Amino acid sequence: MFKQTKKNIFVDENNKVKIISSKSLFSKLDKSCIEQLYSISKLPGICDYVYGFPDLHVGHGVPVGSCFVVDADNDPIISPKAIGTDINCGIRLIRTNLKSKDISEKQYKEIVKAFEKLPIGLSKDGIKITKQDLKEICYQGLEWAVKNSYANKFDKLYVDRQGCFRDASPKYLSKTAIEKGLTQLGTLGQGNHFIDLLVVDKIFDKFFCKRHKIEKDQILIMLHTGSRGLGYQVADEFTKKCKHKDPIEYLYLNSKDGSHYYKTMCAAANYAFVNRAVLSKRIIDALENALNLGHGTINARLLYDCSHNFAKIETRNKKRYLVTRKGAIRGIISERLSDHSEFLESGTPVILPGSMLDDTYVLLPKEKMRKETFSTLPHGCGRVMSRDKAKSKISAKDLKQKLLKKGIYLSGHSENVLREEQPAAYKSSKVVVDSVVDAGLCKKAFSLKPKVVITG
């Protein structure tokens, strides 16, 4: 049984699970999600609530849109199953100097054609790298992209942990993981991974938008991808090494396998940061070509790159915790940032994508979030329909026509994926966002409307 303790905050009677949700979303929540949250609460060493967010939906052992915390100094556990197969899957949002009026409908069609040629789906057409490159990517993260002209030196200021997890080591990567890493750098993947061209619609926080050069009708690029086959291989192999499987597979962090997994997970996370940086450059090049612009004409600047599948050591009140977020984003309030942070006045932005038809929101964390949800916010809308059911409801042709009537151009590598990712498969982004805003956890900075949607 749950009781509502504060607006949009529900806590179970045993104080084990806390769910952030509007009443309407909570009433429709799949009971299997709650069962999965309770299951996580039985893991050894849990020292806080197990959290669920408005985008909560059933996952593989662990619901997507959840977070849990263990004491990092008391024989902590780490779960490859909970973190999942797409280590450091994340969202990147890039500002451009283009306005919606700069692009004609004919040019949007050319952009779609150009984006269709990008390495989307389960592509192996990554940039050419050597094994030495892969080793450096896994150790250095985004610094490798800077050195090799796939990012600029300022980009690191706009990336979670400056694009590098220092505990990373590729030493324990398998031959298969290495092979996948060598062929997939700068590729999108499939499923819910996407590339969007968005138009700024509403400005809510004028100070933030002025500070970060966000204007109404401005074109932004958003992409959603992670560590690709390398991350999948790491998760799969280490999940199989878990001797502890109840309630889900886990390792003790201080064990040999646990330590190796943590270092390898960090390596996969660094690969994901570079994958997003490389893919960003390929997208911008494709956009310039589609618009017949010279190289470097589009002034593209990263707004933020945030992760949502990871386990991090975090300190609170001088105590260390291992925080696992599955389909959830860490928000850092301004008081917890260094004096050199680009987000010192606002806290780090949290990017919450909408469906193909819905608005995307950029949110700013508030102090209450740190206290109520261990500095965590939702990462998206959350599914309300299974992939099979979504696919059965509409054809790819009808879906494209439906979006085109709204002025949105849709394409992708797979028609089946298009149908699986159709708008009706997801909760309303407005309802999800209002759930956390009304709970006092964050505020809106600005919103964007989709114009071009490319799925994997």
Cite the active site residues.
379
Nearest to 65 by CA among 55, 80, 78, 50: 55
Can you tell me whether residue 291 is helix, strand or coil? coil
Residues paired with residue 448 on neighbouring β-strands, in sequence order? 200, 360
Structure tokens at 371: 């206290």
What is each CA distance from 31 to 3, 27, 28, 36, 55, in whole angstroms?
A: 16, 10, 9, 9, 14
3 state DSSP class of 276: helix
Alpha-carbon gap, residue 155 to 2, rounded angstroms:
43
Which residues, 6 or more positions from 229, have their beta carbon under 8 angstroms from its beta carbon? 177, 180, 181, 184
Closest CA to 330 of 67, 99, 2, 1: 67
Contact 303, 93 (CB under 8 A): yes
Nearest 5°: the CA angle 90, 95, 101 is 130
How far is Cα 60 from Cα 32, in angstroms, rounded to an integer?
Answer: 11
Contact between 76 and 323 under an 8 Å Cβ cutoff? The reply is: no
